[in-house]
């Protein structure tokens, strides 16, 4: 869950002569305000979800500057916001999650890039690529090249990031082109400091509104204007961009004493490369490199004269480019051949992985192999050999000590998640019916595709699960079940899935997980979030929306009641009437519920008021140790311990201290007719007189009954 920034947004008011210290995303927000933006929008998604959270928490600061902020319905809506910059000198910025968000926004982005912009337009991309990513593995670079939008990849330190945000607006205006700025997850969370400038009020904003509209038919992407727009990109915008990048020195050169070799790298990988050089003894603690570096803070477009200037005197050049295709490596090879620079041997993906994240170990090994191949004069390869041998020895030693690969730790539902009981019920029904095709969606519920549930046959995109079922349903022997979250419902599901299914009279079952928020990205508000204030927005109910669309078969169930949820699923799967059948699984996100209730309970305890907490446990004498409860619910608070009975060797199931009292374990056991070993405990703090009296009576009754049982046993 993303954290709140309410205590930190005051830093956004810092001015000239003051030093900002903090996290990368907060620095990006400060850079936007220093750049004189008029509007900011976006859609949440790791690793830039908390940029949206910062902006939401900074409404007072934004209001003082007349900056409009909008959390958009999806990335396409955010991209369309940038249309304000087409005709007017309005600087605007939007943000979303890497390539998946860019794909959703692509229609608007293509038209935006074709029309061009008058005011600076900046797109902040959370480049979620690599081992820690939660999405498909693609790069944003390809899209930037395809639509000819310039791509910035700043060195991951606060001064560089802030500078590139500010220069990004200037580059956009100098070339009348939208600019993308990508930030990897480490850059988003990097800490540091930079010297501030004063925040700038935009010339036109909510405080000083535009009086007259501007119409220019040449900005409309229709023939013949769209043909001239394409030519304008090449003849005017690209040269203007190259001129600005060159004059402002957006890319950086770092000289080194081994001048016959060099490394060309993406700006975002600078810290990783420097750390590798430090371990090889070729850079000091201050980042002074012995190997010449050409740091591409602008990865598209490349400047041919800079590339040739850096490479002309080199025997060998290494390209450190994360991901595939190898756009930089191929372009640099092409630039050198066209310039008839045949001296350097360009090495890249032949010694570095073709795909995947360039972690510290990967880059260290790649640079070491490059140096072993290049052998620059005066370089003692002894330390390099020792470091590479050390990596191999450490790997071998780790494998020897472990004896087996470390067990995988895939993501899973939180303790008490309201979505887990629904999949427990769905697993029961799936077993009864002999298998159901389940069309899954993006969100927390995607974890159902992993053990112990293994439910979900396809995942095609956020809010697209019902649309993905359209081809399967008519060709499958039983009804197809679709799972969709309320975030996905509002993002894309209503228009792409529900509306089309009703229009085409598709027959299927749709389960909507209504937990109240876009939970996977940090519990941001959506139209159906409960308890919205007037400032946050006007609530829109999912059920009323579905009925207005024409859904006739609709049931609402309590997520935590596994038996009733399973019954609703059976009714939906066996209903005689055709058409879309919707089950709204109602259960608030446990993280948000806990975050809200904890301070309330703490205040009540402090005031001496009664507070009731529910916990569950397992009767060790009843538990058979077959683990069916764990296999059916998968709750992290369910685990095992040694059997206290000396005559029984199998461990028994137990509930650890992480239990939040959701009751799923007992519900699942009852619905599946498993062993009745679960019991509920109510923990009362600050008990009243009635609680104490009832407790005393219970103890006397239990003591009396226990005494009689003991006497009967003796007799």
Q: What is the 3-state secondary structure (H, E, C) of 545-605?
A: HHHHHCCCEEEEEECCCHHHHHHHHHHHHHCCCCCEEEEEEECCCHHHHHHHHHHHHHHHH
Q: Where is pLDDT greater, at 506 or 397?
A: 506
In this model, does residue 2 exceed pLDDT 60? Answer: no
Round to whole Å and give the CA distance between 85 and 121: 7
Q: How far apart are CA 129 and CA 140, in angstroms?
A: 10
- All CATH 3.40.50.920 domain ranges in the chain, comma separated: 252-402
Give the pLDDT band (50/70/90) at residue 122.
very high
Contacts of 640 (CB under 8 A, 6+ apart): 625, 627, 651, 652, 653, 654
Contact assessment for residue 493 and residue 441, using Cβ atoms and an 8 Å cutoff:
yes
Q: Bridge-partner residues for 442, per DSSP?
A: none
Each residue's pLDDT tens digit, 604-635: 999 999 988 888 888 888 888 778 788 888 88
For residue range 356-394, list pLDDT tens digits in order. Answer: 899 999 999 999 999 999 989 888 888 899 999 998 898
- Strands 638-641 and 553-558, bridge-based pairing: unpaired
Q: Mark residue 441 as left, alpha or beta (left: phi above 0; alpha: psi -120 to 50; beta: remaining).
A: beta
In contact, 276 and 364? CB cutoff 8 Å = yes
**Cα–Cα distances in angstroms (integers) from residue 265 to residues 252, 336, 453, 455, in the given order:** 10, 16, 43, 42
pLDDT score recorded for residue 508: 94
**φ and ψ of 62, to 5 deg:** -65, -40
Q: Is the pLDDT of residue 579 over 80?
A: yes
* CA 458/CA 195 separation, integer angstroms: 49
Query: How many whole angstroms separate alpha carbon 143 and alpha carbon 149?
Result: 8
Band (pLDDT 50/70/90 cuts) for residue 1 is very low
3-state per-residue secondary structure call for 42-84 = ECCCCCCHHHHHHHHHCHHHHHHHCCEEEECCCHHHHHHHCCH
The token pair at 36 is 């004189």
CA distances from 641 to 203, 267, 618, 638, 656 (A): 67, 50, 11, 10, 10
Parallel, antiparallel or unpaired: strands 481-485 and 508-514: parallel
Contact status, residue 34 vs residue 200, Cβ threshold 8 Å: yes
Q: Among 138, 46, 185, which residue's Cα sits nearest to residue 522?
A: 46
Q: How far apart are CA 328 and CA 266, in angstroms?
A: 9
> With b meaning 16 or more CB within 10 Å and e meaning fewer, what string describes 487-500?
bbbbbbbbebbbee
**Interacting residues of 421 by C-beta distance below 8 A, sequence separation 6+:** 559, 560, 561, 562, 565, 587, 633, 662, 664, 667, 668
Identify which has the larger pLDDT, 404 or 458. Answer: 458
- CATH class of residue range 9-247: alpha beta
Q: Say if CB 42 and CB 78 are below 8 A apart.
A: yes
Model confidence at 3: pLDDT above 60: no
Structure-model confidence comparison of residues 29 and 662, the more confident one? 29
* H-helix or E-strand spanning residue 532: none
- The model's pLDDT over 273-327, given as tens digits with 9 standing for 90+, comes to 999 999 999 999 888 999 999 999 999 999 999 999 999 999 999 999 999 899 9
What pLDDT shows up at residue 161?
97
* Cα distance between residue 234 and residue 148, in whole Å: 9
Which numeric CATH code is attached to 252-402?
3.40.50.920
Mean pLDDT of the region 443-465: 91
Q: What is the pLDDT of residue 174?
A: 98
| Distance in Å from the first CA to the final CA of the chain | 60
Please give the CATH number for the structural domain made up of 610-714: 3.30.70
Instruction: Give the count of beta carbons closer than 10 Å to the beta carbon of residue 232.
Output: 18
684-697 pLDDT per residue, tens: 899 999 989 988 99
Quote the pLDDT of residue 341: 85
Sign of CA dihedral 43, 48, 54, 55: negative
**218 has pLDDT over 80:** yes
Distances (CA, A) of 309 to 332, 346, 485, 691: 12, 14, 53, 83
pLDDT of residue 270: 97
What region does 17 belong to: left with phi over 0, alpha with psi -120 to 50, or beta?
Answer: left
CA 253 to the chain's CA centroid: 33
Percent residues over pLDDT 70 in the chain = 99
- The residues, any chain, with a CB within 8 Å of residue 228's CB and separated by 6 or more, are 218
Q: Are 631 and 643 in contact (CB under 8 A)?
A: no
For CATH 3.40.50.970, the residue range(s) in the chain are: 9-247, 420-592
Q: What helix, strand, coil percent values describe the chain, rounded to 5?
A: 45, 15, 40
For 433-444, how does the pLDDT look when each residue is reduced to its tens digit (9 = 90+)? Answer: 999 999 999 999
The pLDDT of residue 239 is above 60: yes
Helix ranges, 4-150 (H): 24-34, 49-57, 59-65, 75-81, 84-87, 98-115, 141-147
CA dihedral 60, 61, 63, 69 (to 10 degrees): -100
What does the angle CA 602 – CA 421 – CA 662 come to, to the nearest 5 degrees?
20
pLDDT at residue 639 tops 60 = yes
Place of tokens 């590798």: 276
pLDDT band at 649 (very low <50, low <70, confident <90, very high): confident
Residues 6+ apart with CB under 8 A from 123: 79, 82, 93, 94, 95, 96, 109, 149, 178, 179, 180, 181
d(C-alpha 64, C-alpha 218), whole Å? 35
Structure tokens, 255: 């000289």
Kindly report, as residue ranges, where domains of CATH 3.30.70 are found in the chain: 610-714
Interacting residues of 90 by C-beta distance below 8 A, sequence separation 6+: 38, 39, 84, 119, 202, 204, 205, 210
Give whole-number Cα distances, 201 to 51, 210, 453, in Å. Answer: 20, 14, 53
In this structure, are residues 494 and 546 in contact, taking their beta carbons and an 8 Å threshold? no
Mean pLDDT of 399-410: 81
* Beta-strand relationship, 652-655 and 638-641: antiparallel
Confidence of residue 4 (pLDDT cuts 50, 70, 90): low
Domain 420-592: top CATH class: alpha beta
Q: Which residue's structure tokens are 């930190």? A: 8
Q: How confident is the model at residue 535 (pLDDT cuts 50, 70, 90)?
A: confident
Average pLDDT, the chain: 91
User: Across 589-650, where does the E strand assignment appear?
Assistant: 611-618, 638-641
Q: What is the dihedral of CA 349, 355, 356, 362, to 10 degrees?
A: -20
Rounded-to-integer distance, Cα 15 and Cα 34, Å: 9
**Which segments of 148-191 does DSSP mark as H helices, in order?**
158-175, 185-189
Task: Find the mean pLDDT for residues 141-152.
Answer: 95
φ, ψ at 631 (rounded to 5°): -65, -30
Closest CA to 151 of 193, 112, 191, 123: 123
Mean pLDDT value across residues 343-360: 91
Nearest to 279 by CA among 351, 366, 357: 366
d(CA 693, CA 713): 30
């Amino acid at each position: 869950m993303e954290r709140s920034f309410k205590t930190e947004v005051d830093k956004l008011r810092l001015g000239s002569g003051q030093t900002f210290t903090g996290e990368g995303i907060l620095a990006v927000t400060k850079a936007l305000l220093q750049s004189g933006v008029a509007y900011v929008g976006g859609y949440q998604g790791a690793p830039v979800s908390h940029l949206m959270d910062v902006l939401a928490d900074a409404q007072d600061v934004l209001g003082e500057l007349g900056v409009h902020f909008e959390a958009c319905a999806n990335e396409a809506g955010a991209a369309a916001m940038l249309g304000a910059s087409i005709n007017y000198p309005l600087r605007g910025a939007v943000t979303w999650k890497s390539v998946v968000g860019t794909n959703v926004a692509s229609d608007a982005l293509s038209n935006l890039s074709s029309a061009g912009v008058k005011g600076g337009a900046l797109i902040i991309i959370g480049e979620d690529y690599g081992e820690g990513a939660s999405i498909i593995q693609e790069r944003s670079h390809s899209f930037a090249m395809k639509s000819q939008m310039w791509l910035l990849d700043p060195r991951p330190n606060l001064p560089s990031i802030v500078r590139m945000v500010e220069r990004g607006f200037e580059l956009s205006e100098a070339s009348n082109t939208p600019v993308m700025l990508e930030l990897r997850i480490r850059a988003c969370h990097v800490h540091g400091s930079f010297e501030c400038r004063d925040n700038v009020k935009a010339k036109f904003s909510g405080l000083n509104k535009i009086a007259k509209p501007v119409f220019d038919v040449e900005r409309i992407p229709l023939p013949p204007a769209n043909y001239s727009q394409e030519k304008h990109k090449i003849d005017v915008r690209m040269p203007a961009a190259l001129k600005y990048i060159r004059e402002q020195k957006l890319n950086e050169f770092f000289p080194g004493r081994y001048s016959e070799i060099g490394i060309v790298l993406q700006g975002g990988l600078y810290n990783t490369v420097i750390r590798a050089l430090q371990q090889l003894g070729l850079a000091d603690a201050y980042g002074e490199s012995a190997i010449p570096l050409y740091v591409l803070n602008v990865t598209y477009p490349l400047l041919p004269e800079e590339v040739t200037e850096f490479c002309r005197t080199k025997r060998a050049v290494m390209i450190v480019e994360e991901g595939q295709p190898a756009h930089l490596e191929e372009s640099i090879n092409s630039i050198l051949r066209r310039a008839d620079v045949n001296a350097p041997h360009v090495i890249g993906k032949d010694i570095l992985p073709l795909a995947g994240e360039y972690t510290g170990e990967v880059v260290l090994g790649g640079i070491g192999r490059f140096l072993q191949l290049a052998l620059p004069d005066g370089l003692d390869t002894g330390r390099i050999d020792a470091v590479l041998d050390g990596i191999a020895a450490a790997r071998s030693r780790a494998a020897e000590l472990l004896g087996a690969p470390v067990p995988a730790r895939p993501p899973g539902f939180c303790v008490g998640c309201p979505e887990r009981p629904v999949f427990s019920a769905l697993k029961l029904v799936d077993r009864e019916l002999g298998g159901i095709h389940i069309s899954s969606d993006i969100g927390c519920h995607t974890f159902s595709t992993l053990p112990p549930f293994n439910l979900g046959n396809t995942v095609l995109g956020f809010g697209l699960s019902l649309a993905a079922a359209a081809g399967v349903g008519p060709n499958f022997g039983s009804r197809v079940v679709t799972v969709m979250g309320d975030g996905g419902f509002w993002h894309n599901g209503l228009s792409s899935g529900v509306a089309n299914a009703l229009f085409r009279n598709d027959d299927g079952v749709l389960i909507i997980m209504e937990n109240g928020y876009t939970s996977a990205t940090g519990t941001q508000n959506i139209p159906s979030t409960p308890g919205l204030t007037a400032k946050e927005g006007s609530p829109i109910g999912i059920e009323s929306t579905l009925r207005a669309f024409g859904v006739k078969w609709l049931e609402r169930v309590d997520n935590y009641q596994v038996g009733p949820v399973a019954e609703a699923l059976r009714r939906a799967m066996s209903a005689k009437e055709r058409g879309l059948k919707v089950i709204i699984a109602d259960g608030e996100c446990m993280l948000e519920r806990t975050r809200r209730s904890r301070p309330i309970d703490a205040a009540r305890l402090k005031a001496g008021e009664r507070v009731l907490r529910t916990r569950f446990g397992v009767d060790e004498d009843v538990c058979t140790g077959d683990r069916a409860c764990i296999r059916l619910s998968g709750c992290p608070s369910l685990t095992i311990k040694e059997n206290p009975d000396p005559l029984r060797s199998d461990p028994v199931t137990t509930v650890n201290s992480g239990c939040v009292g959701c009751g799923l374990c007992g519900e699942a056991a009852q619905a599946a007719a498993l062993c009745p070993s679960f019991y509920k405990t109510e923990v009362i703090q600050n008990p009243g007189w009635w609680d104490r009296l009832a407790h005393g009576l219970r103890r006397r009754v239990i003591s009396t009954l226990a005494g009689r049982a003991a006497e009967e046993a003796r007799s």
